[in-house]
Structure 1
Amino acid sequence: MLHWLRHYRRAMLPGDISAGVVVAMMMIPQGMAYALVAGLPPVAGIYASIVPPVLYALFGTSRTQSVGPMAIVSLMTASSLAPLAAAGTPLYATLAAQLALLSGLVLLACGMLRIGFIANFFSRPVMSGFTIGSSIVIALGQLPALLGASLPALHLPSAILGLGSLVILLAARSLLAPQLRRIGVGSVVADIGAKLVPMAVVLGATVLVPVLGLEGLGVRTTGTVPAGLPVFHLAASFGHWQPLLQPALLIGFMIFLISMSGAQTLALKRAEKLHSNYELIGLGAANVGSALSGGFPVTGSISRSAVNFAAGANTQLASLITAALLALALVAPTGWLALLPLPALAATIIVAVLGMLDTTTLRTAWRYDRVDAAALLATAAGVLALGVEAGVVVGVALSMGALIWRASRPHIAVLGRIPGTEHFRNVERYSAETAAGLLLLRVDAGLFFGNVEAVNERIEDELAARPDTRHLVLVLSAVNAIDTSALFALAELNTMLRTRGIGLHLAEVKGPVLDRLKQSALLDELNGKLFLSTAMAWDALSPNARTH
């Protein structure tokens, strides 16, 4: 906060005020709806939207991040607490706050230890699969509230109100912004106007409840919303620390990942730089604040942050204004909040999560890399079939598995010389010349215990295909490291080739790799030479060249 306050200018204030007001209007229905997703009273969503953004503003580095309840984290909260307590009970609310506290402490510890780089190990396709699976789970979970009951026995007034709200929201989502632009409204105003439709729908449905007597017809509402600011206290059940630890680790990881994905996108638009370790500290403090004020785990919302950005937010003062307005909403009479109909809130949740069903990543991955596409689909299926926490584990395992699978099968190219040059290229891609008795192999990955066997097999295959080989040159221009297992494998290859009358040569060894090799006996025992370049090896070992 001290950094952006020091550089604050009066010209920034109008944008921060407008963004703060717009996001506050979004937060009331959205926060209450996401509290319901988490299995908590609607007011908990407002509690979780007041203190967390204030604490994030103190430590976080994104100027447009909107921190508060978010659909996926709310779903993970409900999934984690369901085996431990019944939703709506005091114990459940206590455990939700305790889960936020543990998640916050995990994030703070990661920030202090400077391990923000861990987010890099969750690939974008896997993250997309997790989002798709979670969105479907959330949408399906809201159908009973939308229809007033289960499908075979739906409650007609609730279903009419819920489905009517859903149709209006879907129509506004796809049609309102283009229509506003068509009549001359600016793009930014049109987009913000479309984003505020959920607030208008919820307010309209709330007005209909007393006018049409919907509560008397059986339409469920949020019920009494206590007035007044949240009371700071630490609620904890000491017998539940251990069962909450694993979910807290997973939720903390997802909080950071979701928050960073949205904040990075917005930061790039303004050429701003985020510091991942300070983001961890800011998000950790926000979750500790949520726990102390009767909330539940929170994160940076991608959709709200985008609205905050579009509405003109220049600094975190916009989030502070949002928090102040929400606090005023609780200080003022809250009787009208008790009339918010659950079918309309369910409709806003469904439309919000349907916006996360983006298949762009799937289509791109399917064309570009089927392994990534398979990981995306498997993660989504894991969330649907096994649950949210298991889906996270599946995603992480698949990310690591894909990385190990690729690393264990490095690309190896047979090289030839482009005629008349000193450039050497893959003979399968270029019309390059090779030399009798000389085999040039370029290994395009570091050599380690996981891939050294595959490299040896490929070398044997190439030697078998070229029985006249007298010199094997390993071009190591793409090798950044050689571990101990690979060092022993190279030594064994050297010994084997010597017995077969074949020289083993190394070319284009990088400096750090060469420094390590000098600490071993391999270079002294090498059955060949060390060449600075592939061209030098070619000149020394190929008296006659032929076209491949």
Structure 2
Amino acid sequence: MPVSAAAVRLYVRDALRDDLIAAVVVSVLLIPQSLAYAMLAGLPPQVGLYASLLPPLMYAALGSSPFLNIGPVAVLALMILQTLQLAPAGVSPSEAALVLSAEVGLLLAAAALLRLHALAALLSVPVLHGFETGATLAIAASQLPVLLGSSAGGATLPELWQSAAAHGFDWRGTSAAFGVAALAALILVRRLPKGMASRLAPLVVLLAAIALTWWWDPLGLSRVGTLPPLALSFTPPRLDPALWTALLPGAALIALLGYVSSLAVAESLARRVGQRVDARRELMGLAGANLAAALSGGMPSAASFSRSVLMSDAGSRTRMTGVFVAGLMGLALMTLSPVLAWCPKPVLAASIMVAVLSGLKFGPYRDAWHYDRTEALLMWAVTLLVLGVSITAALGLGVLGAIALLLQRSARPHVALIGRIPGTEHYRNVERYQVLLDPEVLSLRIDESLLFLNGRSLADVVQAHLDSHPQTRRVLLQMSPVNSIDFSGLSALKELHETLARQGRRLDLSEVKGPVLDRLKAGGWTEWFQGRLFLSHHQGMQDHHGQ
């Protein structure tokens, strides 16, 4: 759709300045994070810079949020590190990262095409928080050897311990001094009042470390090293079936987590200003961003929570902010490469640790324990699996556990015995209110939709109530909470109708919603249903026809 000259003039007048300022502020944080997160993923540092160029441009064209900053993300970096370890021998990490980005992009594009944006529901809040906490601790632990100049490495606590023991728990005094000093400085600057000074402080720490390294050039200090010149070759990823097959499971988990976390950030920031987020366009935006990364030497990308919040606070008005960020990153890559080459790796490790640990929260574990101990145990299990086994195992258990809990809670429909509140026409649960019951009419309320998950249990649940009320001549089901009914639910209703008929009892329905009634009619229920349908439950209770 072409943009009119009037729209351009309106944008220049009302939003250009705010978008430019927000882009500058975010780029200040993105430069060191791009380098750090690429190294966290086991990739050359320039890969993180490449992932900050075209991906934001594609998201700006296809996404829906004016606040999201798309690029390297700490949690995804840890997932990328573990996934790349599955690549066949002879494949470099950079080549595997391109294939991984392509797979993530294609999976997200397929989900957008098939309108599967509801996939976000696969990761429940306990699973997502348990995973994020475990990943946060694992990332911080993985950076501790880099901070101290040790040769150890690993993505889980057992791997780190075994590697550290194999290297004799080595560390270098100069690296440790740089790392600890940078860590202390970054913690202190976080206590500054919010403003431009606090936003620029991390860059100031990084530049001070670079200047000191250039002036002193101490022996044994690990540095980023010379970065290659900007070279976006736009070549397709390596077409190796074995490589694509090996990385596909990890790509699916990265795509799912990247989408869920990005959507959560977008919705949170949109609610601040009364906006809405298009979930399908978010899928499209992330798909385009990752496909762009695959063609330009990048790595899988998603929305960064910290940078997106910063972009929102800095006053971003439109998605053009992402375009300006990409331009500034390209400018930085072309001009700052000689400067970034002197950046000490312990300082980048310190920046990662401070960034991820700042969002660490243990309160949800306590809240979940008080609310539902099963969900709390699932949260802890996911966290411990991330720390001790692998991200794949943790997310696999999380998704399966959430589905199992859903099936457990939905397998038996909640059917409440209800009675009339004296002096009113309102009917409520007998376990919560003082109500009046009719001994000849069993008044029940079905509190959920009738689907294949719970349909088979309907007759058994109703029969359990009948066993306690043997004088019942008629069963009246209040259907107002039932939002949908599938063929299994229709079959369960028919089975209940036939069972009651054999017992000499009648089945009536009240307050059936229009869409449910349409499904019943489509299923030919008029051919077998012999009861009555009432507009209100009170009418059904007052009707004694056929008793």
Pair in the same fold by TM > 0.5: yes
Match of 1:390 in 2: 393
Structure 1 position 417, deviation (Å): 0.4
Cα displacement string for residues 319-364 of structure 1 (whole angstroms, at most 9, x for unaligned residues):
2222222222222252221211111111111111113323344444
Match of 1:380 in 2: 383
**Partner SS for 1:433:** coil
Structure 1 position 522, deviation (Å): 5.1
User: What is the aligned counterpart of 1:46 among 21, 44, 49?
Assistant: 49
2:344 alignment partner AA: P
Structure 1 position 196, deviation (Å): 3.5
Pick closer, same or farther for the CA change 1:455–1:326 going to 2, 3 Å. Answer: same
Contact residue 439 and residue 469 of structure 2 kept, 8 A:
no
Alignment partners' CA distance in 1, 2:34 and 2:362: 26
1:416 aligns with 2:419: yes
Q: Larger deviation: 346-355 or 232-241?
A: 232-241
Structure 1 position 70, deviation (Å): 0.6
1:143 aligns with 2:144: yes
Cα displacement string for residues 25-74 of structure 1 (whole angstroms, at most 9, x for unaligned residues):
11111100000111111111111111211222222221121111111111
Alignment partners' CA distance in 2, 1:301 and 1:246: 23
Pick closer, same or farther for the CA change 1:452–1:204 going to 2, 3 Å. Answer: same
Structure 1 position 143, deviation (Å): 1.4
Match of 2:116 in 1: 115
Contact residue 85 and residue 92 of structure 1 kept, 8 A:
no
1:221 aligns with 2:223: yes
User: What is the aligned counterpart of 2:212 among 201, 208, 214?
Assistant: 208
Alignment partners' CA distance in 2, 1:2 and 1:76: 40
Structure 1 position 508, deviation (Å): 1.9
Alignment partners' CA distance in 2, 1:223 and 1:138: 23
1:198 aligns with 2:199: no
1:339 aligns with 2:342: yes
1:398 alignment partner AA: G
Cα displacement string for residues 303-327 of structure 1 (whole angstroms, at most 9, x for unaligned residues):
1011111112212232222222222
Pick closer, same or farther for the CA change 1:378–1:26 going to 2, 3 Å. Answer: same
User: What is the aligned counterpart of 1:16 among 16, 19, 29?
Assistant: 19
Alignment partners' CA distance in 2, 1:528 and 1:282: 52
Structure 1 position 172, deviation (Å): 2.9
Contact residue 418 and residue 444 of structure 2 kept, 8 A:
yes
Alignment partners' CA distance in 2, 1:360 and 1:445: 31
Superposition pairs of residues 124-135 of structure 1, within 5 angstroms: 124-135=125-136
Cα displacement string for residues 66-106 of structure 1 (whole angstroms, at most 9, x for unaligned residues):
111111111111111112268xx872111111211221122
Match of 1:159 in 2: 176
Structure 1 position 264, deviation (Å): 1.6
Match of 1:182 in 2: none
1:153 alignment partner AA: D
Match of 1:534 in 2: 537
User: What is the aligned counterpart of 1:319 among 317, 322, 325?
Assistant: 322
Alignment partners' CA distance in 2, 1:487 and 1:505: 15
1:262 alignment partner AA: V
1:17 alignment partner AA: L
Alignment partners' CA distance in 1, 2:509 and 2:178: 74
**Partner SS for 1:435:** coil
Alignment partners' CA distance in 2, 1:389 and 1:364: 26
**Partner SS for 1:474:** strand
Alignment partners' CA distance in 1, 2:234 and 2:493: 64
Pick closer, same or farther for the CA change 1:278–1:522 going to 2, 3 Å. Answer: closer
User: What is the aligned counterpart of 2:292 among 285, 289, 294?
Assistant: 289
Pick closer, same or farther for the CA change 1:396–1:2 going to 2, 3 Å. Answer: farther
User: What is the aligned counterpart of 2:192 among 176, 181, 191?
Assistant: 176
Match of 1:180 in 2: none
Structure 1 position 229, deviation (Å): 4.4
Alignment partners' CA distance in 1, 2:56 and 2:536: 57
2:173 alignment partner AA: L
Alignment partners' CA distance in 1, 2:412 and 2:237: 52
1:105 alignment partner AA: L
1:70 aligns with 2:73: yes
Contact residue 438 and residue 542 of structure 1 kept, 8 A:
no
Contact residue 436 and residue 542 of structure 1 kept, 8 A:
no
**Partner SS for 2:17:** helix
Superposition pairs of residues 242-391 of structure 1, within 5 angstroms: 242-332=245-335, 334-391=337-394
**Partner SS for 1:339:** coil
Pick closer, same or farther for the CA change 1:335–1:105 going to 2, 3 Å. Answer: same
Pick closer, same or farther for the CA change 1:321–1:229 going to 2, 3 Å. Answer: farther
Structure 1 position 480, deviation (Å): 2.4
Pick closer, same or farther for the CA change 1:171–1:456 going to 2, 3 Å. Answer: farther
Match of 2:483 in 1: 480
Cα displacement string for residues 444-492 of structure 1 (whole angstroms, at most 9, x for unaligned residues):
0112232134333322222222222222222211122333333333333
**Partner SS for 1:415:** strand
Alignment partners' CA distance in 2, 1:44 and 1:459: 62
Structure 1 position 291, deviation (Å): 1.6
State how many pairs are aligned.
527
Match of 2:156 in 1: none
Structure 1 position 232, deviation (Å): 3.0
Cα displacement string for residues 172-229 of structure 1 (whole angstroms, at most 9, x for unaligned residues):
33x222xxxxxxxxx5x2xx54343322222222222234442x1x121111112334
**Partner SS for 1:219:** coil
Alignment partners' CA distance in 1, 2:422 and 2:265: 50
**Partner SS for 2:543:** helix
**Partner SS for 1:535:** helix
2:189 alignment partner AA: A
Which 5+ residue runs of structure 2 have no aligned equivalent?
153-163
